[in-house]
Every structure is written in C-alpha cells, then in structure tokens.
Amino acid sequence: MKYLEDEKLTQWTSELSDAVLAGRVINGRIEAYTMKRAGTDKKYAHALGEKFVAEMEQKENQMAGYHDFLQKREDARNRKRRSVSVGEDPVKSEPSKKIQRARAISFDEISSPGIVTSVLGDFQEIGTRRLMTDLILTLNSSFPDYDFGNVRPCHFSKKTAKDAMEDCNFRLSELASRRGEYFVREMWSAIDNVVCLAETEVYSYVPPACDDDPTGFLSQTLLDSESDSVAPLWSFNYFFVNKNLKRILLFSCIETMVSNEVSDEEDEQLVTVGKYKTDEGDFDIDPASDIAGGIPV
C-alpha cells in the first residue's frame, strides 16, 4: 500500500491530535492509501492469500465430515425404524459398531460464517480475499509497530457511509462545538475530495474484546509517549474503500481520560486555537443535507 500524501488530510490529523476536552483528550488520524502494492506488500499478500485458502479448505473438510456424520446418524435411525415396523428386535438389528460423533467438530463451528462467508463477501472469490488483504495491509501501514496478520473477517462490520459519518460526528460533537460550525463540514469535504464518499464501501474494524488490550494499537500509537492519558472511553476505525479510484482512507480516533484535570488556561486556549469560529450550535449530521456534514452519499 502506498501512502497518499494530501495536505488537507494532514491538517485534519493535526486538528484531531491532542484535542483536550476538560479531563479527556481526543486523538485521531485520517490517512489515505492507494491500493497499489509494493514488493513487500505482494509477498505479504501472497502469504495471507495462501493462509485464507488453507483455512477455507480446512473449514470445508470439517463441514464435509460433519455432514457425513449427520447422514450416518440418519441412516442408523432409518434402519431402526424399519426393524421396528417389521417386528424385529431393535437391539439385535442395531449394527455392532456404534457410530461415534467426531468430537473435533462442533455445530457452532460448522454453522458459523467463519472464513468462508463474511460481511466482506464470499472468500471463495478472489476479490473478497483481496479486499481483506488490503484492509490488513492498510492497518499494517498506518500502525507499523503492529502486525495485523491474525485479524479475522469477523472483526469487521459493514456500514453505510451515512451511518459511519453519523457515528464519527456524534463522537466528535463536543470537539466540533468548540472548534466552530464549519468543523465537521470541512472535515468531510477534505475526505470526500480524496475518496469520493458517494462511491465508497465502508467497513468498521473492531478489535476482539478477548484481547488484553484491544485498543492498544490506537492508544500506544496515537497518544504522545509522555501523555497523561489513561482509560480509553471510545474508539473507532473506519475504512472508506473506493474500488474505482483504488483508494482506501482509514479514519481512526480514540478518546481517553487524562490523569490530571486540564487547567482553565489550557481549556481557554483550546477554544480559541485554530481557524474555526467558536460558535456553539447544532450540527446536522445527515450527509444528504447541505450544511455541516453535508456530503451527499
């Protein structure tokens, strides 16, 4: 994945860095990448592709074994019914060898979407596997200190552009009220100029809750190493994928508590910093409208 330099996106990443809100701090990053793969990306993608295919084959074998077990069980029941209907002793007519259920196969495992189908699509199709690989490559590029090779399809959910924008605007509403009425509108305008929101597919990455630190890659990357921020409150990771332009934009953001309260002086400086007016007002987060957040999708 090749990082796509864009001055406005860089400015917006700066706007979302260390944004202090009375005991809380927001840190965000908006980065765009072309879906053109470099040499190392190709090798990594090839290895991931082989991994996906192997997992699909394993899943298909498990499904085949489970269905074979069901068929054998049904055949045994049918034989028992027939023997009873003709007056035979069902005990004598039972086969001497009992059919054992394969313990390695569970119904939940077979019936779950797993690797074969997901919100990303059918993994038997190369386009779906390529999309999954591109999302992982984007995470690796944006957070180079981490390897997301073990990310699963179930860690993604598909969103409409409108729903994703509404969620982002809601999370950033307090910051937007401080920065001025054009804050949200201009942010989405900068994003729209890069990926054309009307043509994007949107995916949300939600790290598994079973991880010891599911938001660690965000808090440890986006926050300053000397930051007093602790206790993440919320986070989001949205991928805006435009297959026509062959671009992916990753919008990641996290809000954390700070260990000591922000001084009144710092809070006052926050309100007046930047080019945005400090009017407080309602923000229309409907992308179909023509005001704040009004990027038609």
pLDDT of 183 reads: 95
Handedness of CA 138, 139, 145, 148 (dihedral sign): negative
Write out pLDDT tens, residues 130-152. 898 899 999 999 988 888 888 88
pLDDT of 102 reads: 40
Inter-axis angle of helices 7-15 and 183-195, to 10 degrees?
140
**Rounded to an integer, what distance in angstroms lies between the CA atom of residue 121 and that of residue 253?**
26
* Cα 231 → chain centroid: 21
Contacts of 173 (CB under 8 A, 6+ apart): 283
Write out pLDDT tens, residues 35-68. 987 777 777 767 776 766 666 666 656 666 656 6
Instruction: Report strand pairing: 117-118 vs 121-122.
Output: antiparallel
Whole-number mean pLDDT of the chain?
Answer: 74
Is the pLDDT at 280 greater than 60, yes or no?
no
Mean pLDDT of the region 19-48: 85
| pLDDT cut 90: percent of the chain above it | 36
pLDDT of 53 reads: 64
Write out pLDDT tens, residues 75-134. 777 777 776 666 555 555 555 444 444 433 322 233 334 455 688 888 778 888 889 889
Is the pLDDT at 202 greater than 50, yes or no?
yes
| Nearest Cα residue to 37 out of 73, 88, 3, 85 | 3
Q: Is residue 287 a contact partner of residue 297, using CB atoms and an 8 Å limit?
A: yes
Backbone angles phi, psi at 82, to 5 degrees: -65, -40
